[in-house]
Structure 1
């Protein structure tokens, strides 16, 4: 069985890398245009990967709480980080968004070139307070322009079932911007594990909270909400609760 999963993962990787080269190179032609135009082009690569991983590796997903998303008002997404899967899937689940990421990622050939077109908030993790201020300033500006912002409060990919330290940056952006906050948990690492080439068949469960009004909250209170939501769903994503709504790329 493992050899089958390996071969299917090879097939997925071939399609993913080939199309990444195509989109990242052709996407450079969109640089003179608006962020909306660049995003519209590049997000098709993410949608392709979601379809391709479903066909080749049998990795599907189910979204619980999709009705909670208010698509008319830009929101801040504070999400669980387990694999590369969520960076693709959020582009299909949520409206146009900017990611907070390590600036070193933009130096990766093809992948970094493509990510640069998506107007990310690229920070230097070693910059301390300067990086935090950049996150708050640029994140607030993106939200005010109507773009959603994605922050992974744990800061790095975590193994399925293991909760990492919740960093303060996302919570500070929430309290400064006053944007509605969506807490997102999932178990992508169960099927597309961190640092693993092999993907295994299954359905990833994504849980989206109702929008959180943080107007009267402190950053530490927001972080507590994040920790509670993620902790609650570390177990429920393994047991797979009842499906409320399923979203799959067309």
Structure 2
């Protein structure tokens, strides 16, 4: 039954995405950047609601009151493609992602993405890539958009603590924006590179604002990693049967050991 429902959801996506992308391409020229984002967030809502109806993937958001009415840098746990779609649908305000330039070449999805004010990163540029990310980030935040990043860089399996790269905290410090950490357990229902989706409840937990003023990069990165991993053990304790928030084995890289900018890894 799960396989059948997952195949039906895949068919739903195959039909929905090209049609919605064509609609976006036709009307985007009439819309400003924030209106374009709002239109895309509707597609995101249609996807996660389609997953809820077809696959039984329910969701809830706790801590939404922690999101301030100003642009911030959202640093999120990364377990699946679900959160890359759900964050725009569930969290208020215009947002933009830092993503690999190669995503622009995905038919329909990438073409639409290219018409949004996102932050592109070309890793072939080496050290210059991060300078470009900072420049674009300052422009997006000044324009009123929050920036979403995944400090682990790639998706980690349920119950696994990834290495928290310093790019997210460095970015926040360079742009002058505060940080909002996000934890969730989407990997339980939408595992990486798996066709079959599992019915269940995804809990998205929004943490308190972490101020970047007067802080060191190492301190910020460690605080973000500690909050997310402690919260993971609270909302998904079964995934960490022999672990506790105070002994979670969080690994966070320093600015001197990692210059990698966290990006979206959003393949199904």
Displacement after TM superposition at 1:125 (Å)? 2.7
Identify the residue that residue 2 of structure 2 maps to in structure 1. 5
* Equivalent residue pairs, number: 236
Conservation of the 8 A alpha-carbon contact between 2:180 and 2:207: yes
Give 2:180's match in structure 1, choosing from 179, 182, 185: 182
Identify the residue that residue 109 of structure 1 maps to in structure 2. 107
Displacement after TM superposition at 1:237 (Å)? 2.6
Distance 1:154 1:126, change over 3 A: farther
Say if 2:39 is the partner of 1:30: no
Identify the residue that residue 122 of structure 2 maps to in structure 1. 124
Conservation of the 8 A alpha-carbon contact between 1:151 and 1:170: yes
Displacement after TM superposition at 1:197 (Å)? 1.0
Displacement after TM superposition at 1:62 (Å)? 1.6
The CA distance in 2 between the partners of 1:172 and 1:136, in whole Å, is 9
Displacement after TM superposition at 1:30 (Å)? 2.9
Say if 2:233 is the partner of 1:235: yes
Distance 1:183 1:221, change over 3 A: same
| Deviation sequence 1:177-215 (CA, Å, 0-9, x none) | 221210001110111001111110110111111111111
Within a 5 Å distance, the mapping from 1:29-178 to structure 2 comes to 29-32=26-29, 33-70=31-68, 72-94=69-91, 95-178=93-176
Runs in 1 of length 4+ with deviation above 3 angstroms?
A: none
Q: Secondary structure at the match of 1:119?
A: coil
When the two chains are superposed, the root-mean-square deviation of aligned CA atoms in Å is 1.4
Q: Secondary structure at the match of 1:207?
A: strand
Q: TM-score, normalised by structure 2?
A: 0.84
Conservation of the 8 A alpha-carbon contact between 2:42 and 2:89: no
Conservation of the 8 A alpha-carbon contact between 2:117 and 2:140: no
Displacement after TM superposition at 1:82 (Å)? 1.0
Displacement after TM superposition at 1:119 (Å)? 2.0
Displacement after TM superposition at 1:167 (Å)? 1.5
Displacement after TM superposition at 1:105 (Å)? 0.9
The CA distance in 2 between the partners of 1:116 and 1:80, in whole Å, is 25
Q: TM-score, normalised by structure 1?
A: 0.90
Displacement after TM superposition at 1:139 (Å)? 1.1
Say if 2:13 is the partner of 1:16: yes
Give 2:211's match in structure 1, choosing from 195, 210, 213: 213
Conservation of the 8 A alpha-carbon contact between 1:135 and 1:169: no
Displacement after TM superposition at 1:114 (Å)? 2.3
| Deviation sequence 1:83-113 (CA, Å, 0-9, x none) | 1111111112222100011111111111211
The CA distance in 2 between the partners of 1:130 and 1:229, in whole Å, is 30
Structure 1: stretches of 5+ with no match in the other structure: 241-250
The CA distance in 2 between the partners of 1:128 and 1:203, in whole Å, is 40
Conservation of the 8 A alpha-carbon contact between 1:159 and 1:193: yes
The CA distance in 1 between the partners of 2:36 and 2:203, in whole Å, is 29
